C-alpha cells in the first residue's frame, strides 16, 4: 500500500473533470477580479483627473473674477478718495477766500474806526457849525458862523 500512495512521474494521473473545471473557474475568477480592480483603478484615475481639471478651471475663473472685483473696488475707492480730496480742496479754497474777505472787512473797520477817532474834533466842529447855523438868531446872519467855517476848512485841509 505504501507503494500505491507514491506518485511516479511515469504513470498518468487521473484528474476528474470537476477538478479541472474548478481550477479553470478559479483562474478565470482571479483574472476577472484583477480586471475589475484594474477597471476600478482606471475609473478612479479618470475621476481624479477630471476633478483636478475642473478644480483648476474653477480656481482660474475665481482668481479672474476676484482680480476684476478687486480692481473695481480699488478703482472706486480711488475715485471716492479723489472726490473727497477735491471737495476738501474746494472747501479749503472757499474758506480761504472767506477768511481773506473777512480780513479785508476787519481792516476796513479798523481804518474807519481810527479815522473816526482822528475825525472826532472834525465831527465836533461840524456839529458846532450846524448848531450855529440853525440858531434862531443866526438864521438871517450866516456870517456869524464864518469863523467856525474857516476853522473847519483848515482842519479838513490838514486831514487830506
pLDDT class for 67, splitting at 50, 70, 90?
A: very high
Residue with more model confidence, 98 or 29? 98
pLDDT tens across 100-140, in order?
A: 888 888 888 887 777 666 677 778 888 888 888 787 776 67
Residue 140's H or E segment, with its range, is none
Instruction: Report pLDDT for 145.
Output: 79
DSSP class of 13: P
| CA gap 47, 152 in Å, rounded | 115
**Which range among 1-10, 51-60, 78-87, 106-115 has the greatest average pLDDT?**
51-60
Burial letters for 122-158: b for 16+ Cβ neighbours within 10 Å, e otherwise? beebeeeeeebeeeeeeeeeeeebeebeeebeeeeee
| Helices 146-159 + 120-134 axis angle, to 10 | 160
| CA gap 58, 56 in Å, rounded | 5
142 with 133: CB under 8 angstroms?
A: yes
Average pLDDT in the 51-55 region?
Answer: 95
**Which range among 4-13, 69-78, 84-93 has the greatest average pLDDT?**
69-78
Average the pLDDT over each of 21-35, 51-65, 88-102 and give the range with the smallest value: 21-35
DSSP class of 12: P
Rounded to two decimals, what is the model's pTM?
0.37
Grid cell listed for 73:
473696488
Amino acid at each position: 500500500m505504501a507503494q500505491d500512495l507514491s506518485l511516479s512521474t511515469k504513470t498518468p494521473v487521473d484528474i476528474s473533470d470537476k477538478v479541472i473545471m474548478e481550477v479553470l473557474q478559479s483562474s478565470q475568477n482571479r483574472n476577472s477580479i484583477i480586471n475589475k480592480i484594474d477597471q476600478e483603478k482606471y475609473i478612479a484615475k479618470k475621476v481624479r483627473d477630471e476633478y483636478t481639471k475642473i478644480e483648476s478651471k474653477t480656481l482660474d475663473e475665481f482668481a479672474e473674477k476676484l482680480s476684476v472685483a478687486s480692481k473695481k473696488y480699488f478703482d472706486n475707492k480711488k475715485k471716492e478718495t479723489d472726490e473727497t480730496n477735491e471737495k476738501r480742496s474746494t472747501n479749503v479754497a472757499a474758506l480761504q477766500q472767506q477768511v481773506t474777505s473777512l480780513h479785508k472787512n476787519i481792516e476796513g473797520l479798523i481804518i474807519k474806526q481810527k479815522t473816526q477817532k482822528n475825525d472826532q474834533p472834525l465831527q465836533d466842529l461840524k456839529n458846532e457849525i450846524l448848531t450855529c447855523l440853525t440858531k434862531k438868531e443866526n438864521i438871517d446872519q450866516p456870517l456869524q458862523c464864518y469863523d467856525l467855517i474857516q476853522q473847519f476848512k483848515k482842519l479838513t485841509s490838514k486831514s487830506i
